[in-house]
Amino acid sequence: MNKNQHEQIALITGASSGIGFELTRKLLSEDWQVVALNRSDFPADDSRIQEALKSGRLRAYRTADLADYASLKRTLDEIKNKEQRIDILFNNAGGSFPELSYSKQGREKHYELQTVVPYIILMELMELIKNGRLKTVINTSSSAIKFTKELSIEMLEHPKTFRKLLGPYATSKLALSLWTQAIAPKLAKDGIKIRSVDPGGNNTLRKGKNSGLPLVVKLLMQLFFSPPTSGADKLYEGALGEHRHETGVFLLKGQVTALKFTGQAQTILERIDAIYEHEFVQRKS
């Protein structure tokens, strides 16, 4: 492992493909160390990535399913045992599913993966973040949240209907941004800043993978959307750019943007904290 204490260290979830992969490559090119929490291996044909893995500047931790608490716990424990600090946590893993599905814990999977799990990761890695220099958390959100017409805990956890992209995916990302806003004052007491960031429209389609996107969106992606490097740049700027001193904000196109349903932010935070305490922490004891 590279023990150079002068290098910054970022932890990125979902770092082996798409935006997370390009963010990993960007940070490595700027002499960061990267801790990756992934469900799949890095591409074997990327020489820069493979070299970073061999040198220890890129350290990969695998979990079979981020939304499976038993698997997630084992991987987070490994990270806590082996790593000393995290300067920036990028809660980036996510995605859109093609149909209504549920996690092993019995909640809608977008919500579990994109709202609850980022909170668990933050809580479990809190001491490493406190040990870091930048003490920054970036949650990957989405501009799709602006299409949300209603929001409730029941709707998030057990939706009665399903709509690709603008259904559970959008509501789970809105809930993520809302708890980001709600928890900011508490984290500020420990000097930690947290923001949610929209990475913009990126062509993250992969062969052989059902993206869960409407057909028209897939076509638009292929024709007009930016490559994932664009999204990586937005997350990077969200962490280190002009808004680096702000906390609790949602950044859309690089600008602080108001959220819908802010009256529910505290309720959502309390609900996911209860899930963490009663289902994840108790599992550990």
Q: Domain locations in the chain?
A: 9-284
- What does the pLDDT look like over 215-263, one tens digit per residue? 665 666 565 566 789 999 999 999 999 999 999 999 999 999 999 999 9
Question: Element (H or E) spanning 51, and its range?
Answer: helix 47-55
Backbone angles phi, psi at 137, to 5 degrees: -125, 130
Q: Which residue has the tokens 């602080």?
A: 256
Give tens-digit pLDDT for 95-128.
Answer: 888 899 999 999 999 999 999 999 999 999 999 9
The tally of CA atoms less than 13 A away on the side-chain side of residue 285 is 7
CB distance 25 to 237 below 8 Å: no
**What superfamily does domain 9-284 belong to in CATH?**
NAD(P)-binding Rossmann-like Domain (3.40.50.720)
In this prediction, residue 213 carries a pLDDT of 60
User: Is the overall model pTM greater than 0.75, yes or no?
Assistant: yes
Q: What size, in residues, is the chain?
A: 285
- pLDDT category at 145 given cuts 50, 70, 90 is very high
Per-residue model confidence (pLDDT) at position 211: 59
Separation of alpha carbons 30 and 36, rounded Å: 16
In this structure, how many other beta carbons lie within 10 angstroms of the beta carbon of residue 2? 13
CB atoms within 10 A of CB 3: 8
Handedness of CA 218, 224, 229, 233 (dihedral sign): negative
Q: Which residue has the higher pLDDT, 212 or 131?
A: 131
pLDDT mean over 4-32: 93
Residue % of the chain over a pLDDT of 70: 89
Sign of CA dihedral 218, 219, 225, 227: positive
57-61 mean pLDDT = 98
H/E run at residue 121: helix 117-124
Type of residue at 206: R
Q: Is the pLDDT of residue 43 over 60?
A: yes
Q: What's the confidence (pLDDT) of residue 2? A: 44
